[in-house]
Amino acid sequence: MKSRVTITLAPKLLGEVDKLIDGEEITNRSNAIEKILKEYFRPSAAKMAFILAGGKGVRLRPLTYELPKPMVTIKGKPILGYIIDRLKESEITDIIISIGYLGNRVKEYFGDGSKFGVNITYLEEKTALGTSGALKQAQHLIRDDIVVINGDQLFDFDISKIYNFHKRQKALATMAVTAWEDVSQFGAVEMDGNEIVNFIEKPKTDQKTHLINAGIYVFNPLVLSLLPNGPSALPDFLAKLTQRRKLNGFIYSGKWLPCDNLQLYERALKEWNQ
């Protein structure tokens, strides 16, 4: 059952609405406005994800002497396996994985992804490129907004939510942001509305904020053209986007457990129950 509402529109906007009336599928202004609203609220679907999995995991040694960091296990399953499960839940099945240090261990376990219900493409770093450089290497494969995820974390986050938020905001870059008790180990984030106005990687002094970078992003392909060539770090790039007022933040309150040092890994072993 439909309800009647009254709205007031500027003449120019009303003219744009009238352009949709074709006399067949859309016969009047009500049909036109209903179509616009349906398109606006229809969930978007991310087509592709990029996982950063090439780091050496120095702070996880001795665990990473024989395994790359994303292949370290929690409850008998690699961290990377949990991330791929989350992507599948959001119907993202085309995945690019950037590998470097002991990358063959990732390939041996996941193969082309078919056993896990996904399609995996590998990009191998011949020399260490850093997180930003690895993403730049994938630029030629990316034609639409892409989800980018750090490969050393566990989360129960519905990735489609940040993607839909990103699309509704018509943003160039969006970062998932979460609360954490100690921001000194992460990227501290200050926000004004949806916009990130300050981003400091591993701040040395006390910060007023308890919001941090949660290592999940959505990037428009135009932003990737701004990435520098050669080895570089993603936090540096994010700081530059913040200075240019081109980085949005999406706050989420679900479980998030980073695993990039032994202390955090031990915490994840105790707290992760997915």
Q: Is 147 within a domain?
A: yes
| 49 within 8 A of 147, measured Cβ to Cβ | yes
Residue numbers of the domain that contains 82: 48-271
Is residue 136, in this structure, part of any structural domain at all? Answer: yes
pLDDT value, residue 82 = 96
| Cross-strand partners of 201 | 187
CA distance 259 to 151: 9
Q: What is the pLDDT of residue 79?
A: 96
9 domain residue, yes or no: no
- In order along its 274 residues, the chain shows pLDDT tens digits of 677 888 888 888 888 888 888 877 788 888 888 777 766 655 556 689 999 998 888 898 998 999 999 999 999 999 999 999 999 998 899 999 999 999 999 999 999 999 999 999 999 888 888 888 888 888 888 889 999 999 999 999 889 999 999 999 999 999 999 888 777 777 888 888 899 998 887 776 666 778 888 999 999 998 888 888 888 888 889 989 999 999 999 998 888 999 989 999 999 999 998 7
157 falls within a domain: yes
H/E run at residue 267? helix 262-271
CATH classification at residue 72: 3.90.550.10
Evaluate whether residue 57 is within a structural domain: yes
Cα–Cα nearest to 272, from 90, 140, 82, 125:
82
How far from chain centre, in Å, is Cα 256?
A: 13
Asked whether residue 154 is assigned to any structural domain, the reply reads yes
pLDDT for 25: 75
30: in domain: no
Q: Considering the domain boundaries, does residue 266 fall inside one?
A: yes
What is the pTM for the complete model shown? 0.81
Domain count, the chain: 1
Measure the CA–CA gap between 21 and 27, rounded to whole angstroms. Answer: 6
165 three-class SS:
helix
What is the pLDDT, as a whole number, of residue 61? 92
Owner of token pair 């989350």:
86
